[in-house]
Chain A
């Protein structure tokens, strides 16, 4: 376990040695941004919309006291979405979609000797293949989190009105009531950390794949599992560091 963590940090160290020209990375990062960002947009928007809708209905279902004003429903939805659902739950979706894809791609490249081919050409394969993926993830994931937040609040709004659990006016009042802008900053900090963890852990698992097709699958599974564990641990640590009074 400790040896594995050490190997992971050495892998990260290799990202920054013997790099190629800037123009090479610029093109690769842009390609990855399109693949990671646009490629995940539909799934993220879909999951977030339903997440917001379900949170609204369930919060309304639990608000049994007539003394609690209706706008509290959207206030709860807002806090849950911004603090946890958008950055953390979407990070788990991100690990499943993007992380497994990164790991599978690198694993396949490893077993078909494409990574060896890069090394023989004198190219630092870690830097060439992994660094653009990490940079693109760090650039795109916070944007996906913002989209997810907006979609979740919108989903909650639409369902809240159609299910007649809250009026449009109450929903907007709840969204604005007692709003602390730091929660957005906190969500974005979390999203950067999660993006780094998911992309680096997934690439690490894929890069060190040995064997054949079976091992590529094992690496992808490990990539998602380890990414989710890292997300949950770092989620707690960040909450403790940045939110604890």
Chain B
């Protein structure tokens, strides 16, 4: 479980996040949603430690990330996996080398063990026979899946996904969403997904946090998101024509 408390962050006197608190549960995808520029990605960066908040705390199963020493930070980070918006695969490495990378650097596994683990993870995300391909030779959806395989290869306790569906067609988006949900449940991982895709929200939104102008305005599930009585959330949810049509009915 990840708990955040009073996360506040400014850039050049501009408040990006204002006193955001919440809890992200284990074994299910926790969604952070909101329109572009509301601070979702900054919040995610504050949670994973890529951007230090001006104020606030992040607890990983009770361990305070920012108050801890360097060793604790490294220990927590080695329990993380992250899927970046663009995949963030290493251009100079093959798919296999990309997925194997955390094992190469962070473990003392033998070559056979590493290869087995890589093949298991690639198979788990539905990719086979792409081991020797370079990232430039595979599609956007495949890159995302390789990114997920790399994120889970080291058996993480925490999985972070930054806009996993951006730039993907609806079918591939659903596939990626389902994969994130399945992996979270199967491996009992605390997963945080940042998205503004309503299809994802309605598909895997078992726990949702809505951010508006840097503040948490609402928290709930996909079942009660359509009748939240929060105007800003309604505006966001029903800006989608399909959702708008549903409200009409």
Contacts and interface: CB of A to CB of B under 8 A. Distances in A.
Given A112-B91, A122-B75, 5 more contacts: A112-B88, A114-B89, A114-B90, A116-B84, A121-B78
B106 A122 contact: yes
Interface of B is mostly: mixed
6 residue pairs, one from A and one from B, having the closest CB atoms: A122-B77, A113-B88, A122-B78, A117-B88, A113-B84, A120-B82
A123 B105 contact: yes
A185 interface: no
Interface string A113-130: 110110111110000100
Given A18-B74, A113-B85, A113-B88, A120 B105 contact: no
Contacts of B140: none
A243 B25 CA distance: 68
B239 to A, nearest CB: 27
A164 interface: no
A245 to B, nearest CB: 49
Interface string B82-115: 1011101111000000000110111000000000
B48 A120 contact: yes
A199 to B, nearest CB: 18
Interface in A110-153: 112-114, 116-117, 119-123, 128
29 contacts: A17-B70, A18-B70, A20-B105, A24-B104, A24-B105, A112-B86, A113-B86, A113-B88, A114-B88, A116-B50, A116-B82, A116-B84, A117-B82, A117-B88, A117-B90, A119-B77, A120-B48, A120-B77, A121-B78, A121-B80, A121-B101, A122-B74, A122-B76, A122-B77, A122-B78, A122-B80, A122-B106, A123-B105, A123-B106
A121 B106 contact: yes
Interface of A: 17-18, 20-21, 24, 108, 112-114, 116-117, 119-123, 128
Nearest to B154: A121
- Most chain-A Cβ atoms within 10 A of its Cβ — which of B49, B84, B154? B84
Contact of A117 (B74, B84, B106, B154): B84
A21 B104 CA distance: 10
